[in-house]
Amino acid sequence: MNATPTGPVTDIAAGTGTVAGTGTLAHVAETAVPEHHRGGERPHPARAGLGLLLRIVLCLVFGLPLLFMVVSSFKPDLQIFDDLGSWKAFLPTGDISADNYTGVFDRVPFAQFMMNSVIITVVTVVLGILVNSMAAFALARIGFKGGGIVLGIILATLIVPFETLALPLLWWANQLPFLGPDGFSQGWLDTYQVQIIPFIANAFSIFLFYQYFDSIPKELDEAAKVDGAGWFRIYRSIVMPLSGPAIATVAILTFLPMWNQYLWPLMSVQTEELRPVMVGIDYFKQLNTSWGQIMAYATMITAPVLILFIAFQRSFINSMASSGVKG
Amino acid sequence: MTTITAAENPSAITPPERKPVKGSRSSTTTALLMLVPAAVLLITFLLIPIGLTFGLAFTNARLISPRPAEFIGTDNFVRLFQDETFWKSLRNTIVFAVVIVPLQSACALGLALLVNVKMRGVNFFRTVYFLPVVTSMVVVSMLWLFMYQKNGLINQVLLKFGIEGPDWLGDPHTALLAIILMSAWQAMGFHMVIWLSGLQTISADLYEAADLDGAGTWQKFRYVTWPGLQATRTFILITITISAFALFTQVNIMTQGGPLDSTSTLVLMAVRTGFQQQQTGYASAISLAFFVLVLAVTLVNRYFTRDKDVVR
C-alpha cells in the first residue's frame, strides 16, 4: 500500500504505453486463464456438468431479481402478487400493459428528474476528466518542486470515505458563497452546483491519470518541445489523444457513482425541480404504494446504465477492476 | 505522431531558450496553473471538510442557524457515549462488516474461480454476475424490499423447498441479516472482477509446475492460487470493510434503522441528527467516530500486510 501500488492499474498504464488501444486489463474481460484444467488434463464430465449447473444456478440468483423487476413493471399490482408463487413471476404473461409507466409520469415529474440526473452526471464527468487529467499531467509530465508531496497528500485522502464528510460538507456547502448568472448568493443548498462541483476533482481519478501519463514515453514531450510546442499543446495534442483507455476508465468510474448517487442529493436538495432520479424513488414509498409503478420507475432509471453497460461491457468491467488498487 | 516526424526536420528546431526544462520557472508556472483547478476543488471539498469533521465535533453548530457555532468542548462526545442508539448503531455497523467481509469475499472468490476458465459462454456468466453491480443500490433496495415481504418472492421460493421464511425486515432478529445478504448479492460481482484480475496475474507456469508435481485441484488452490492472491486479498479486505462501515442507502430505504434500532448504522444516525435534526455538531462527532473506525481498520491492515511482506 505504498504510493506505487501493484496490480491492474499498473497493468493498464504499463501495458499500453504509446498505443491508444486497449489496455492490458482488457484481458480481464477477454481472456480466461485456464486455471484448474491445465496441461491437457480434461475435467471429469460429471464434474464439468456439475460446474455448469452451478454457474447456471448462480446466473438465476443474480439475474432473476432484475428480470422480475422488469417483467413486473408491465403487470398490474394484483397480478404481480398472484404470480409470485410460480415461474410466471419472471414471465411477461397475463395482463401486460404500459400502464405503470404512464402512471409514473402522472405521479412524478419524471422527465425533469431524468434531465437533472443527466445534466449532473454529464457535467461532472466532462469537467472531471478535464480537471483531473490536467492536475495529473502537471504532476506526471511537467513536475515541479513539491510535486511528490502533493501527490502524497492526494493519495492519502483515498482512504477517507465520502460518508464521513457528508454532514460537515453539508454545513460547509451552506456557508459557501456563489457567483452565478443571477449574481451573488449565499449558500449552495438547493442548487445544481452543490450536486456537481464537489465531485469534479477526484483523488482517485488524478491517480489513475497519473499512472497512465507516467507510462507514456517522455521522448514525445521532448520532440514536441523541440518543435516549439508548449506544455498545454503537449497535453492537448499528444498526451490526451494517447490516453483513451485512462479517459474511459475515469469516465466510467465517475459516471456510475454520480448516476447512482443518493445520500448527497437527499440532503442537499429539497426543491423538486432540482432532484435527480434516485431521490425520486422516495415519492413512491409515500401514500398508496403501487409496486408496479415502483418497478416501472426502477426499470427506467436503471435502463440508461444497463444499456451503457451492455454496450461497453469490457470497458466497464476493466474500469471496475482497475479500481482494485484504491487504498 | 506528426510532431515526431517534424522534430526530425532540422528547420523545425527552435532556439534552446524556448525549450522549457523540468523545474524551470515557466514550467513550474504552467504546472501550477494546470494543478490549480483540482487543488482548489480538493481543498474546498475534501481537505476543509476533513478538518471540519474534527472542528465541528467540538461545537454546537447547527445546519441552518443565524447564530455562529460555539465551542462546547467534549459535550457532543459525552452525549454520544450516553446515547443508546449510538452503541446499537456502532454494534450493527461492526456486525455488518464482520459478517459481510468473509461472506462476500469468499463467495466472490468462488465466482471468480468459476468464471476464470476457458469455456464457451463464460463471458455471459461474468456479465450476469456483474449486473447487480451497475444497478443502483437505491433500485436494488426497493426491489429487495418487495422481495423480502412476508409473502414476497423470497419466501415463496423458500416455500417451494418446504421452508417457511421469516418476516425478514419486520423481525429485529433477521432484519440486519436480510440487509447483509442483499448487500453481498449486489456487490459480489465487483469483487469477483477484482479477484479475477488478481487470479490472472498468477503465472501459468506455476500451475504447470504444480501439474508436473501431480498436485490436485485443492493443492493447486492452496499452494499456488492462494499465496498468489495476497495483494488482492488485502485490497478486497480493506474495501469491503470500509464500504461496509459506510452502510446507509439500503437501511434508509428498507428499514429506516428499525425495527427497534436493529438496523441503525453510524451513517444513518449521522444523517438523522445532522440533516433531519440539523445538529451538525453532534453529527460531526458521529462522523468522527466513523472516521476513527475506518482509520483503525486501515492502520491495522497496513500493519499486518507490512509484517507479511517482511516474512515473505
Scan residues 9-48 of A and list those with Cβ closer than 8 Å to B: 11, 25, 27-29, 31-39, 41
Contact A308, A95 (CB under 8 A): no
Q: Mind listing the pLDDT tens digit for each residue in A41-62?
A: 556 777 778 888 999 999 999 9
Q: Whole-angstrom Cα distance, residue B137 to residue B184?
A: 11
Q: Whole-angstrom Cα distance, residue A55 to residue A242?
A: 39
The number of C-beta contacts closer than 8 angstroms across A and B is: 359
- Give CA torsion, residues A104, A108, A112, A115, to 10 deg: -50
Tell me the whole-structure pTM to 2 decimals.
Answer: 0.84
A62:B129 CB<8 A: yes
A25:B197 CB<8 A: yes
Q: State percent of chain A over pLDDT 70.
A: 85
Beta-carbon contacts of A181 under 8 Å, excluding residues fewer than 6 positions away, are: none
Q: Whole-angstrom Cα distance, residue B209 to residue B220?
A: 10
Beta strands in B67-127 (DSSP E): none
Beta-carbon contacts of A306 under 8 Å, excluding residues fewer than 6 positions away, are: B131, B134, B135
The whole-number pLDDT of residue B287 equals 93
Q: Whole-angstrom Cα distance, residue A116 to residue A118?
A: 5
More confident site: A7 or B195: B195
- Written as nine digits, the cell of B142 is 426497493
Residue A185 DSSP label = E
Residue B71 DSSP label = B
With b meaning 16 or more CB within 10 Å and e meaning fewer, what string describes A259-283?
Answer: bbbbbbbbbbbeeeebbbbbbbbbb
Residue A184 DSSP label = E
A134:B34 CB<8 A: yes
B270:A169 CB<8 A: no
Task: Give SS3 for A179.
Answer: strand
B193:A317 CB<8 A: yes
Nearest Cβ partner for A281 among B27, B142, B189: B142
Smallest Cα distance from B182 to chain A, Å = 11
The whole-number pLDDT of residue A38 equals 43
CA distances from A115 to A111, A182, A195, A282, B36 (A): 6, 21, 14, 18, 30
Which burial class, exposed, middle or buried, applies to A206 when counting CB atoms under 10 A from its CB (0-12, 13-18, 19+)? Answer: buried
Domain ranges within chain A, ordered by starting residue: 8-30+109-325, 45-97
A67 touches chain B (CB under 8 A): no
Beta bridge partners of A183: A180
B116:A321 CB<8 A: no
Nearest CA in chain B to A203: B42
Q: Whole-angstrom Cα distance, residue A309 to residue A311?
A: 5
- Give CA torsion, residues A122, A126, A127, A129, to 10 deg: 140
A228 touches chain B (CB under 8 A): yes
Q: Mind listing the pLDDT tens digit for each residue in A79-90?
A: 998 888 888 889
A35:B116 CB<8 A: yes
B294:A66 CB<8 A: no
Q: What angle do CA A129, A112, A279 make, to 5 degrees?
A: 75
B225:A68 CB<8 A: no
Residue reference for cell 449486473? B131
Q: Mind listing the pLDDT tens digit for each residue in A94-114?
A: 888 899 999 999 989 999 999
Residues in chain A: 327
Domain ranges within chain B, ordered by starting residue: 15-56, 83-311
Residue by residue, pLDDT tens for chain B (312 residues) are 334 444 444 444 444 444 444 456 788 889 999 999 999 999 999 999 999 999 999 988 888 877 888 888 889 999 999 999 999 999 999 999 999 999 999 999 999 999 988 878 888 999 999 999 999 999 999 999 999 998 889 998 898 888 888 999 988 889 999 999 999 999 999 999 999 988 888 888 888 898 888 888 888 899 889 988 888 888 888 888 888 899 999 999 999 887 888 899 999 999 999 999 999 999 999 999 999 988 888 888 878 776 554 443
Task: Give SS3 for B215.
Answer: coil
* Number of helical (H) and strand (E) elements in chain A, helices listed first: 17, 2
Nearest Cβ partner for B129 among A58, A203, A301: A58
Smallest Cα distance from A90 to chain B, Å = 11
CA-based nearest residue to A76, from A99, A46, A51, A45: A99
A294:B37 CB<8 A: no
Smallest Cα distance from B17 to chain A, Å = 11
Mean pLDDT of chain A: 83
Nearest Cβ partner for A131 among B38, B130, B193: B38
Contact A242, A193 (CB under 8 A): no
Which residues on chain B are in Cβ contact (under 8 Å) with A27?
200
The whole-number pLDDT of residue B118 equals 80
Fill in the amino acid letter for A157: T
The CATH class that applies to domain A8-30+109-325 reads mainly alpha
Q: Mind listing the pLDDT tens digit for each residue in A156-205?
A: 888 888 998 999 999 999 988 887 777 777 888 889 999 999 999 999 99
Smallest Cα distance from A319 to chain B, Å = 10
A134:B199 CB<8 A: no
A324:B232 CB<8 A: yes
Architecture of domain B83-311: Orthogonal Bundle (1.10)
Residue reference for cell 482512504? A159
- Written as nine digits, the cell of A24 is 492490458
A89 touches chain B (CB under 8 A): yes
Nearest Cβ partner for A231 among B27, B135, B280: B27
Beta-carbon contacts of B298 under 8 Å, excluding residues fewer than 6 positions away, are: A159, A327, B238, B242
Which residues on chain B are in Cβ contact (under 8 Å) with A201?
37-39, 41-42, 45-46
B135:A306 CB<8 A: yes
Beta-carbon contacts of B170 under 8 Å, excluding residues fewer than 6 positions away, are: B150, B259
Which residues on chain B are in Cβ contact (under 8 Å) with A55?
114-115, 125
